[in-house]
Amino acid sequence: MNVQDFPSQNDSRTRTSPCRAMPAGAWVRDPWVQTLSLLDALCAAPVDESVPERRTRQPDGGYRARAARREQTSCRDAVPPVITVLERLSTTTVVLCWRSTTCHYGDQVWVQGVARNSGQCAISGVPIRRGDAVYRPRNRGRRVPVNVSAMIRASAFA
């Protein structure tokens, strides 16, 4: 399949993925496009067309439109993670085993801090407000954890 097989960005059939941009019935002819279309339908949440798009300047001088809210197309909330507390290192650090559809950490250190923005507790599902006491994955070194935006309410470990 070539780039020419996909409609232009001005085409009304274009949505958020190449699978949705295909002409009607094309997925029947191409097993790869059918697979991508199925994965897209099962994994991605529907995109809210009312959310504005921002244009990002690319290194080649062109622009790429991207949704303002990345969470809309994320698989992050599809299946909740399985979290096991392995050890409490101190009053402000714990070691967790984090298993989710996006990543697996057998022994990840989490540190206590203050929520910088609102969210949801990964263990209890209780809403977290900015300023609440939370635990977050330790973010050291060059590798940023995939679950870096996850938070757990400090009261969940009490």
Give residue 14's pLDDT.
Answer: 42
In the predicted structure, residue 57 carries a pLDDT above the cut 60 = no
Same domain, 24 and 43: yes
Same domain, 16 and 48: yes
In the predicted structure, residue 158 carries a pLDDT above the cut 80 = no
Same domain, 18 and 45: yes
Q: What are 154's two structure tokens?
A: 């400090």
Q: Could you tell me the residue range of the domain that residue 105 belongs to? A: 82-157
DSSP the chain: --GGGSPPTTSTT--SSHHHHSPTTHHHH-HHHHHHHHHHHHHSPPP-TTS-EEEEE-TTS-EEEEES-GGGG-STTTSPPEEEEEEE-SSSEEEEEEE-SS-EEEEEEEEEEE-SS-EEBTTT--EE-TT-EEEEE---SSPPPTTTT-BEEGGGG-
Q: Given its phi and psi angles, is residue 131 left (phi above 0), alpha (psi -120 to 50 degrees) or beta?
A: left
Same domain, 86 and 153: yes
111 in Cβ contact with 138 (< 8 Å): yes
Which phi and psi angles does 116 have, rounded to 5°?
A: -80, -25
Same domain, 17 and 45: yes
| pLDDT tens track for 4-45 | 444 444 444 444 444 455 555 554 578 888 787 777 766 655
Q: pTM to 2 decimals?
A: 0.53
| Domain end call among 73, 95, 124 | 73
Higher pLDDT, 87 or 11: 87
- Domains contained in the chain, number: 2
How far apart (Å, rounded) are the C-alpha atoms in residues 114 and 132? 6
Cα dihedral 158, 131, 102, 65 in deg (nearest 10): 170
113 in Cβ contact with 64 (< 8 Å): no
In the predicted structure, residue 151 carries a pLDDT above the cut 90 = yes
Same domain, 91 and 149: yes
In the predicted structure, residue 61 carries a pLDDT above the cut 50 = yes
Same domain, 64 and 89: no
Give residue 110's pLDDT.
Answer: 96
